[in-house]
């Protein structure tokens, strides 16, 4: 028997309603059911040309230069924008080596933080030399040292407190660097620090080693997580950041016995919270305020700016999250409270991030997450990427894809939620790490234990204005600071 017109109309309307209901539900949950659905969710995906993910050998400096404050150009120490690389005999490390060194750095950070948090207990058996960290994913700047000034290329690192450079004469050994090694005897403003001075007693907290004395001259020693070493005189010198930003009596290490893989850089600038860091020693002018932007690729450039002139232009709207007080004073602690994938907040208990806390670090390459948080992120990412064939895992990376047969791909957007209810979206290069077109990996890793501190690494910070208002107790993020 034929259905009545009313019944027919009702059945069609009901089916349309059901279809619409499921369409809306699937849209809400971020799943793509078809071409039209994908367009609805387009804002939750990055459409990326696969060849744009691969490294290039030509330097393309960012056009978004910082203009206010004392601003220094930032480049990657193994990228083509490092002008000394054309003469550098140290070859760029493989991705496997980058990840291995990065894990060494993370192990060193975790050891230091565990030791400091348990320093009243027997846990102090952890070696003191685990208290400093250096890794391969580091960025460099040029500064001037001495009178007359000599320009030097130094790695900058928010995970370190102590600034040092190689010095003549090399009593032990000096690794190969591309700038002429600094000679304090040629400067009219260099002086050695005496053992009886208050400055010498400050070395322990900045280097994790007690100072040594010889003929009342203060000597420092520092060892990093990758076994790099610097030892030498503790001195005072004039440091020049820009022609109008000159600081006399800057305390630093004049290294005469140095070994390690520093990519041709002359030494390191410590930007931690210790009194001997560059941030603290220049606080009378800059007010414990600095910012930086790390470029999206090793073939571009960013900036490091001191003073509150940085981090607020280029159309960037800053959002701030509190910096947390912590007994580990040299680290920058803040709250990660959640993660979004394709616009949907992952179901991660707040306690997962609270157990050990989180720090931000310019020298750690890959962000480390608590195991439960990483598992949730990996699961959601894989679900959104299931249309692409998976590839072999590589080191820390357990979620990789073969994109060699695609011209463009859609990568699910990932955002981090920080304390103060701010949301910071990541660019595509902050989400995936391209070893090659046939091996493109999710650029995150899980910690080995829930008690390990989370680390927001430099791959995820790319192109963000990252502002450290240390005096104001807050950390700022803005988009599009550099390219």
Separation of alpha carbons 286 and 272, rounded Å: 15
Separation of alpha carbons 204 and 212, rounded Å: 10
Strand partners, 213: 218
User: How confident is the model over 173-191, as a mean pLDDT?
Assistant: 96
Closest listed residue to residue 401, CA positions, set 378, 420, 382:
382
State whether residue 9 is helix, strand or coil: helix
User: How confident is the model over 170-193, as a mean pLDDT?
Assistant: 95
Q: What angle do CA 297, 301, 307 make, to 5 degrees?
A: 130
User: How confident is the model over 2-19, as a mean pLDDT?
Assistant: 39
> Beta 139-145 vs 70-76: how paired, if at all?
antiparallel
Least confident of 94-108, 299-313, 438-452: 299-313
User: How confident is the model over 71-79, as a mean pLDDT?
Assistant: 91
Closest listed residue to residue 399, CA positions, set 435, 358, 359:
435
Band of pLDDT at residue 28, cut at 50, 70 and 90:
very low
Separation of alpha carbons 446 and 204, rounded Å: 32
Contacts of 421 (CB under 8 A, 6+ apart): none
Band of pLDDT at residue 229, cut at 50, 70 and 90:
very high
Higher pLDDT among residues 401 and 329, named by residue: 401
**Residue 143 pLDDT > 70:** yes
Band of pLDDT at residue 386, cut at 50, 70 and 90:
very high
CA 178 vs CA 116, 157, 292: distances in Å: 37, 20, 24
What is the total residue count of the chain?
Answer: 483
CATH topology of 56-305 equal to that of 314-478? Answer: yes
pLDDT digits (tens, 9 = 90+) for 415-461: 999 999 999 999 999 999 999 999 999 999 999 999 999 999 999 99
CA 3 to the chain's CA centroid: 67
> Encoding tokens for residue 191?
């002086």
pLDDT of residue 92: 80
CA 124 vs CA 115, 121, 129, 160, 224: distances in Å: 6, 7, 12, 20, 18
| Rg, Å, the chain Cα set | 25
pLDDT of residue 39: 43
Phi–psi pair at 293, nearest 5 degrees: -135, 125
> Encoding tokens for residue 3?
């259905």
Active site residues: 157, 361
Phi–psi pair at 198, nearest 5 degrees: -65, -35
**Residue 309 pLDDT > 90:** no
Average pLDDT value over all residues in the chain: 86
Residue with tokens 């957007």: 413
Closest listed residue to residue 79, CA positions, set 261, 224, 271, 296:
296
**E strand or H helix at 200:** helix 198-201
pTM of the complete model beyond 0.85: yes
Contacts of 204 (CB under 8 A, 6+ apart): 210, 211
User: How confident is the model over 4-9, as a mean pLDDT?
Assistant: 38
Contact assessment for residue 165 and residue 395, using Cβ atoms and an 8 Å cutoff: no
User: How confident is the model over 374-381, as a mean pLDDT?
Assistant: 99
pLDDT of residue 55: 85
Q: What angle do CA 165, 104, 457 make, to 5 degrees?
A: 85
pLDDT of residue 81: 87
User: How confident is the model over 311-321, as a mean pLDDT?
Assistant: 71
User: How confident is the model over 50-60, as a mean pLDDT?
Assistant: 89
Closest listed residue to residue 387, CA positions, set 363, 405, 367, 361:
405
What would the CATH number be for the domain defined by 56-305?
2.40.70.10
**Residue 208 pLDDT > 50:** yes
Separation of alpha carbons 118 and 107, rounded Å: 16
Torsion of CA 225, 282, 76, 97, to 10 degrees: 0
**Residue 31 pLDDT > 50:** no
Cis preceding linkage at 420, omega within 30: no
**Residue 135 pLDDT > 60:** no
Higher pLDDT among residues 312 and 99, named by residue: 99
pLDDT digits (tens, 9 = 90+) for 103-130: 999 998 998 888 765 443 333 222 323 3
- The domain segmentation of the chain, as residue ranges, is 56-305, 314-478
Contacts of 260 (CB under 8 A, 6+ apart): 134, 175, 224, 226, 227, 228, 229, 230
pLDDT of residue 113: 85
Contacts of 267 (CB under 8 A, 6+ apart): 152, 154, 155, 163, 164, 165, 166, 230, 253, 255, 258
Strand partners, 444: 367
Separation of alpha carbons 480 and 483, rounded Å: 7
Q: Report the topology of domain 314-478.
A: Cathepsin D, subunit A; domain 1 (2.40.70)
Contact assessment for residue 306 and residue 282, using Cβ atoms and an 8 Å cutoff: yes
pLDDT of residue 312: 53
Least confident of 21-25, 132-136, 260-264: 21-25
**Residue 200 pLDDT > 60:** yes
> Beta 267-270 vs 150-157: how paired, if at all?
parallel
246, with CB counted inside 10 A (0-12, 13-18, 19+), is middle
User: How confident is the model over 169-180, as a mean pLDDT?
Assistant: 92
């Amino acid at each position: 028997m034929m259905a009545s017109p009313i019944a027919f109309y009702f059945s069609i309307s009901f089916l349309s309603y059901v279809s619409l209901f499921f369409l809306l539900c699937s849209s809400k949950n971020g799943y793509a059911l078809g071409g039209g659905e994908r367009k609805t969710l387009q804002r939750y995906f990055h459409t990326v040309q696969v060849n744009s993910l691969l490294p290039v050998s030509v330097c393309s400096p960012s056009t978004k230069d910082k203009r206010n404050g004392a601003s220094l150009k930032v480049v990657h120490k193994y990228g083509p924008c490092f002008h000394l690389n054309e003469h550098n005999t140290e070859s760029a490390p493989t991705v496997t080596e980058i990840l291995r060194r990065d894990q060494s750095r993370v192990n060193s950070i975790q050891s230091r933080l565990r030791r400091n948090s348990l320093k009243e207990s027997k846990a102090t058996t952890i070696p003191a030399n685990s208290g400093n960290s250096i890794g391969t994913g580091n960025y460099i700047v040029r500064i001037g040292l001495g009178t007359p000034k000599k320009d030097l290329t130094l790695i900058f690192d928010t995970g370190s407190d102590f600034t040092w450079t190689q010095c003549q004469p090399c009593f032990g050994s000096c690794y190969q660097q591309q700038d002429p090694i600094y000679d304090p005897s040629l400067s009219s403003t260099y002086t050695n620090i005496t053992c009886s001075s208050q400055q010498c007693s400050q070395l322990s907290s900045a280097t994790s080693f007690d100072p040594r004395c010889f003929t009342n001259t203060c000597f420092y020693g520092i060892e990093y997580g990758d076994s790099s070493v610097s030892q030498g005189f503790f001195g005072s010198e004039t440091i020049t950041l820009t022609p109008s930003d000159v600081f006399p009596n800057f305390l630093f290490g004049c290294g005469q016995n140095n070994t390690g893989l520093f990519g041709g850089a002359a030494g390191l600038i410590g930007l931690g919270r210790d009194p001997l860091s560059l941030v603290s020693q220049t606080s009378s002018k800059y007010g414990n305020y600095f910012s930086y932007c790390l470029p999206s690729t090793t073939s571009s450039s960013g900036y490091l700016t001191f003073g509150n002139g940085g981090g607020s232009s280029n159309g960037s709207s800053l959002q701030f999250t509190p910096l947390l007080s912590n007994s580990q004073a040299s680290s920058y602690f803040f709250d990660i409270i959640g993660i979004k994938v394709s616009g949907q907040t992952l179901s991660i208990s707040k306690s997962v991030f609270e157990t050990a806390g989180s720090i931000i670090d310019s020298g750690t390459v890959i962000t480390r997450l608590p195991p439960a948080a990483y598992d949730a992120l990996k699961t959601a990412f894989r679900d959104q990427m299931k249309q692409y064939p998976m590839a072999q895992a590589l080191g820390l990376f357990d979620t990789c894809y073969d994109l060699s047969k695609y011209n463009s791909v859609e990568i699910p957007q990932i955002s981090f939620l920080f304390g103060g209810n701010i949301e910071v979206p990541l660019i595509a290069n902050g989400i995936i790490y391209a070893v090659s077109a046939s091996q493109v990996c999710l650029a995150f890793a899980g910690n080995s234990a829930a008690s390990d501190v989370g680390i927001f690494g430099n791959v995820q910070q790319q192109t963000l204005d990252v502002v450290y208002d240390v005096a104001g107790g807050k950390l700022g993020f803005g988009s599009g600071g550099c390219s």
